A and B are shown apart, each in its own frame.
Chain A
Amino acid sequence: MSTLLRVENLRTYFHTRAGIGAVDDVSFSINSGETLGIVGESGSGKSVACLSLLRLIPSPPGRIESGRADFCGIDLLQCRDRELRAIRGNRIAMIFQDPMTSLNPYMRIGDQVMEPLNIHKRISSKDAWQRGVTALREVGIQDAERAMRSYPHEFSGGMRQRVMIAAALITRPALLIADEPTTALDVTVQAQILELIRKMQRDLGTAVIFITHDIGIVSGFCDRVLVMYAGRIVESATTSRIFYEPKHPYNQALQKSIPALHEKGETLHTIPGSPPDLSKPISGCPFAPRCEFAQEKCVTSTIALKEIADGHFSACLRIQLKEIDLTPGHLPEKALARKVNY
């Protein structure tokens, strides 16, 4: 498996009066065909990081301050607009959270599904139509011909998300970035969409970056997981290690608070406090104010993501110094049970 995309030291700031550092020194990579999950709360920077890759950050007030994103020899953050546009929708595709607003209400579905083809390939309108119909069928829309001629408001949320997926994958991109694609959907539909993405990934061999705030979703779905907090990556490992061998207090706390893992009648576990105000510079570990293991050096030292075991990275200073060892929180068996058949 070769490295498809390597991101190094990405920093994206939003220059509002307060100055918010949304993404602060993020580095990761993804191999072809791999599924990478990025997990974090709202404001953790997970969406901004991926939007930065395709330079889709609204520019004022946001700006990519520094970093590299190497995709098959091209630095996405520095390359010319024309090169970037040739990649967007073609070799890297993106789907977004809210299918209601992400489709153009004034255009027919067919036009929107065929659009990447029309932009990137020389193709006759008849062929484009055919491929559009096929794409809609692939994502499970039965009456594809009619759907092509319909408008988005005639469809439900789940259907619209399928349309978005069809449009994204119609050019067979090497990488699909899915920014919380199921968050706005009903629970039952969520499962269907996840299954769909999984299937497409298997069939097409596409690498997928899956962004979500629900750590439970990634368990059955992703090969590797990054956990983000306050704009940084705090832990990165394979899925099973993330769950069975958490090496960052935040990760462990997240898992402890998954309701499904508790017995009925137990009090639910919450993480006290709230995420830091990103408009103020943070010294040391951003999670320290809420961390049960925090010490003074956590706030005064410079914190960095380091590899602590093979392929397992953690940004926790005390873990790096081998001072603490987080025994797996709650019952891994229950975590296993959560791993529904996606």
Chain B
Amino acid sequence: MLRFIARRLMQMVPVLFVIATLTFFMIHLAPGGPFDTERNTTPEIQKSLDRYYGFNLPVYQQYFRWLGNALHGDLGPSFRYANRTVNELIAESFPISAELAFWALLIALALGLTAGVVASLRPNSATDYVASSFAMVGISIPNFVLGPLLVLIFALKLNWLHVSGWEYPTDRILPAVTLGALYAAYIARLTRGGMLEILSQDFIRTARAKGASNSRVILKHALRGGLVPVVNYLGPAAAALVTGSFAVETIFQIPGLGRNFVNAAFNRDYTMVLGAVLFYASFIIVFNLIVDVVLVWMDPKQKFE
């Protein structure tokens, strides 16, 4: 097991390297620069700015400079926000995105697991139909449609919640629901499918033949195997939640990494973009690793070379 983890971590290095390099050269190949839209600066100031940020150097030298710093953990200064470093910005905004993702995942699991299990207990019944349709709706409504709709109803018309912001605890509700709805739907479908598959297996019949009650059959026998598809999905899901919150953060004005990233892209804040990309990629890889480890623990039949 430890060897497996070590190997995966080592594989991470070349991947990140490729990603960083690709991104770097892509941004620098693109037309436009970070200061094109700035207010007028005198040529002298422009020159010293250039020197500070390294624009006077040829591209590949800039690359190595950045790479060297990055390997030491220094992702450089933000090109957009003077006096802020990328590290700072990430450290400030990532926890917010993470918190949003956390609540969204919680909601997704709570809704999705319940709906999925309930639907699987009585397949093709009215309950199943309702639950499955809800799931289908969740998949079909994009979050940038759902978000504004929820705001319209709950914030503007009913006045129960704030339109945007992140200051109050209740501010988490609408964004988390908006973000989590899609995943709740997928989780519901996966749970239903996984449970149905398990419930039709012979060993469930054996358990019933031993006198097990319905709840025992589900909790002790079915869930373990039935949830495997969901756990498989959690990896990509959590990664997507954390890294894909741009739209929700924009709609609800949440100061998370997603919004920072989008703004950085628009503003040609090279270092910020690079930093964010690297950060996202590392996060996804590590997270997937954790999920794989959990999977092995859950299903004793998995063997690794």
A and B, direct touch (CB closer than 8 Å): yes
Distance of B208 from chain A, by nearest CB (Å): 6
Is A104 interfacial (CB-CB < 8 Å)?
yes
Distance of B201 from chain A, by nearest CB (Å): 6
Is B84 interfacial (CB-CB < 8 Å)?
no
Interface residues in A80-130 (C-beta closer than 8 Å to B) = 85-90, 93-94, 96, 98, 101-107, 115-116, 119-120
Which A residues touch B212, using CB under 8 A? 85, 89, 115, 119
Which A residues touch B224, using CB under 8 A? 106-107
Among B206, B213, B225, B299, contact of A96 (Cβ-Cβ < 8 Å)? B206
With CB as the reference atom, state the residue of chain A lying closest to B213: A85
Which B residues touch A107, using CB under 8 A? 220-221, 224
Are A89 and B211 closer than 8 Å at their CB atoms? yes
Is A5 interfacial (CB-CB < 8 Å)?
no
Bound complex: CA of A153 vs CA of B225, how far in Å? 14
Which B residues touch A90, using CB under 8 A? 211
Is B210 interfacial (CB-CB < 8 Å)?
yes
The 5 A-B residue pairs with the shortest CB-CB distance in the complex, in nearest-first order = A89-B210, A89-B211, A88-B211, A101-B202, A106-B224
Are B299 and A106 closer than 8 Å at their CB atoms? yes
Are B202 and A115 closer than 8 Å at their CB atoms? no
Which A residues touch B301, using CB under 8 A? 105, 151, 153
Is A56 interfacial (CB-CB < 8 Å)?
yes
Is A164 interfacial (CB-CB < 8 Å)?
yes
Instruction: Say whether, besides A56-B205, A102-B202, A105-B203, A119 and B210 are in contact (CB < 8 Å).
Output: yes
Is B118 interfacial (CB-CB < 8 Å)?
no
Bound complex: CA of A115 vs CA of B217, how far in Å? 11
Is A167 interfacial (CB-CB < 8 Å)?
yes
Are B209 and A56 closer than 8 Å at their CB atoms? yes
Distance of B253 from chain A, by nearest CB (Å): 45
Is B231 interfacial (CB-CB < 8 Å)?
no
List 8 A–B pairs whose Cβ atoms lie within 8 Å, in order of A's numbering. A56-B205, A89-B210, A96-B202, A103-B206, A105-B225, A105-B300, A105-B301, A107-B220
Interface residues on A, range: 20 to 34
- Scoring A residues 46 to 76 as 1 if CB is less than 8 Å from chain B, else 0, what string do you get? 0000000010100000000000000000000
Interface secondary structure of B, over-half rule? helix
Are A93 and B209 closer than 8 Å at their CB atoms? yes
Is B207 interfacial (CB-CB < 8 Å)?
yes
| Residues in chain B within 8 A of chain A (CB atoms) | 201-203, 205-213, 216, 220-221, 224-225, 298-301
Are B225 and A94 closer than 8 Å at their CB atoms? no
Which A residues touch B220, using CB under 8 A? 107
Are B211 and A56 closer than 8 Å at their CB atoms? no
Which A residues touch B221, using CB under 8 A? 104, 106-107
With CB as the reference atom, state the residue of chain B lying closest to A105: B301
With CB as the reference atom, state the residue of chain A lying closest to B200: A58
Bound complex: CA of A18 vs CA of B298, how far in Å? 42
With CB as the reference atom, state the residue of chain A lying closest to B199: A58
Are A106 and B300 closer than 8 Å at their CB atoms? yes
With CB as the reference atom, state the residue of chain B lying closest to A98: B202
Are B210 and A116 closer than 8 Å at their CB atoms? yes
Bound complex: CA of A54 vs CA of B209, how far in Å? 7
Instruction: Say whether, besides A90-B211, A107-B224, A115-B212, A164 and B300 are in contact (CB < 8 Å).
Output: no
Instruction: Say whether, besides A106-B225, A106-B300, A151-B300, A101 and B210 are in contact (CB < 8 Å).
Output: no
Which A residues touch B213, using CB under 8 A? 85, 119
Which B residues touch A153, using CB under 8 A? 300-301
Which B residues touch A89, using CB under 8 A? 209-212
With CB as the reference atom, state the residue of chain B lying closest to A55: B208
Bound complex: CA of A105 vs CA of B206, how far in Å? 12
- Scoring A residues 186 to 199 as 1 if CB is less than 8 Å from chain B, else 0, what string do you get? 00000000000000
- 19 additional A-B residue pairs with CB within 8 Å, beyond A115-B212, A119-B211: A85-B212, A85-B213, A87-B211, A88-B208, A96-B206, A101-B202, A101-B203, A102-B205, A104-B206, A105-B300, A106-B221, A106-B298, A107-B221, A107-B224, A115-B210, A116-B210, A119-B216, A153-B300, A153-B301
Bound complex: CA of A276 vs CA of B69, how far in Å? 81
Bound complex: CA of A167 vs CA of B225, how far in Å? 21
Which B residues touch A98, using CB under 8 A? 202
Which A residues touch B216, using CB under 8 A? 119
Distance of A198 from chain B, by nearest CB (Å): 21
Bound complex: CA of A119 vs CA of B219, how far in Å? 14
Distance of A41 from chain B, by nearest CB (Å): 21
Bound complex: CA of A164 vs CA of B206, how far in Å? 9
Bound complex: CA of A167 vs CA of B203, how far in Å? 13
With CB as the reference atom, state the residue of chain A lying closest to B298: A106
Which B residues touch A96, using CB under 8 A? 202, 205-206, 209
Which B residues touch A88, using CB under 8 A? 208-211
With CB as the reference atom, state the residue of chain A lying closest to B220: A107
Among A94, A101, A103, A151, contact of B209 (Cβ-Cβ < 8 Å)? A94
Bound complex: CA of A86 vs CA of B211, how far in Å? 6
